[in-house]
Amino acid sequence: MTCDAEPLSRFATCPGMNPDLQDLKDRALAIHRRLCEAYDCPIPYFHSLDPLSELISSLLSHRTRNADSGRAFKALKARFSDWRAMMSVPAEDVEATIAGVTWPEQKAPRLQAVLQAIEERHGSLSLDFLGAMPVEEARAWLESIPGIGPKTSAAVLSFSMLRKAALPVDSHHHRVAQRTGLIPQSMAVGPSHRALAALLPEDWDAQAVYDHHEVMMLHGQRCCFFKSPACGRCLILDLCPTGQGWVEGRRIAALKPESTPEDRRSSRSRER
């Protein structure tokens, strides 16, 4: 990844070339501390799955509501004795079992292909060995398999029983990071994983990294909405340039007097 696409002063992943990197780190830490106080860190992990099962769960969840992907995962566990059994049946059987998720016709063969790739590359159908790898090495191994991107690799390492310090970024987390200026508005979710991870303290453990993702996600869900964000009650408004701009814009708009019918008639007369 190069730094050419964005002004160097905004790019958090180019150490030595970014004079504002420390400012971004300080802002990220200030946001983390304030949100953690509001959302009651440390936050309990919501899964205790082995890493292979977490991978299946994460792949099912893509563009799918949590309730629907959760039902699909349970349906797979009930239908097949183990993941090897799921890998061995026709894709149509898997598709029928996960019919409630988005794009089941794509996800069914992808799940089987990913499992086959893991067994071919590792020699067994397990991801437990990733626990002995450094986070970046483990993520690279996962992402070398077609169908596994940065969000999925981070989810497997963070959410599973491996409990490693990998930072996932979902759409809510990404939106809050953009609006608070931690990443450029033009940066997509994929590359934002590396940019946002670079802002976190190197000595953070897995729980702290997990908490950071969770509080950013929760703030996006509960306050920093995609449409009509609740900036007026946002507890990090003073750290959010976007929100400050919106609040000021609304304040100025509220000060403008409403035009009367006479004003509008006079304006039309002048236009003639």
Per-residue pLDDT, 1: 39
Residue 95 lies in a domain: yes
pLDDT at 253: 79
The confidence score (pLDDT) of residue 235 equals 97
Let me know: does 140 contact 107? Beta carbons within 8 Å.
no
For the chain, the first-to-last Cα distance in angstroms comes to 57
- Range list of H helices, 40-82: 51-61, 66-79
In a domain, 187, yes or no: no
183 closest CA partner among 151, 138, 173, 238: 173
Nearest-10 crossing angle of helices 206-222, 150-159: 120
Contact 149, 143 (CB under 8 A): yes
What is the structure's pLDDT at 20? 86
CATH label of the domain that carries residue 152: 1.10.340.30
Residue 27 has pLDDT above 80, yes or no: yes
Domain presence at residue 73? yes
Burial class (CB in 10 A: 0-12, 13-18, 19+), 114: buried
Tokens of 186: 């033009």
Q: Domain total for the chain?
A: 1
Given the structure tokens 């009509």, which residue do they identify?
228
Amino acid 87 reads M
Cα separation of 167 and 214, whole Å?
A: 10
pLDDT tens-digit series, residues 116-128: 999 999 999 999 9
SS3 142: helix
Higher-pLDDT residue of 46, 265 = 46
Query: Over 60: is that where the pLDDT of 266 sits?
Result: no
Residue 169 backbone dihedrals phi, psi, to 5 degrees:
-135, 115
Q: What is the mean pLDDT of residues 217-245?
A: 97
> Tokens at residue 29, please?
């830490």
Q: What is the mean pLDDT of the chain?
A: 90
Task: For residue range 74-116, list pLDDT tens digits in order.
Answer: 999 999 999 999 999 999 999 999 999 999 999 999 999 999 9
What is the separation of C-alpha 82 from the centre of its chain, rounded to a whole number of angstroms? 29
pLDDT given for residue 267 in this prediction? 53
- Residue 203 counted as domain residue: no
Q: Is 26 within a domain?
A: no
Residue 245 has pLDDT above 90, yes or no: yes
Lowest mean pLDDT among 6-10, 46-50, 155-159, 190-194: 6-10
The region of weakest confidence among 51-60, 218-227, 255-264 is 255-264
Instruction: Confirm whether 251 is domain-assigned.
Output: no
Mean pLDDT for the stretch of residues 199-214: 98
What Rg value do the Cα atoms of the chain yield, rounded?
23
Can you give the pTM of this predicted structure? Answer: 0.85
pLDDT of 169 reads 98
pLDDT: which is higher, 20 or 72: 72
* Domain annotation covers residue 150: yes
Domain that holds residue 86: 51-159
In a domain? residue 110: yes
Query: For residue 2, what pLDDT is reported?
Result: 42
Nearest residue to 211 via CA among 28, 50, 60: 28
At 264, is the pLDDT very low, low, confident or very high (cuts 50, 70, 90)? Answer: low
Spatial CA neighbour of 166 closest among 107, 111, 212, 217:
212
Q: Is 264 helix (H, G, I), strand (E, B) or coil?
A: helix
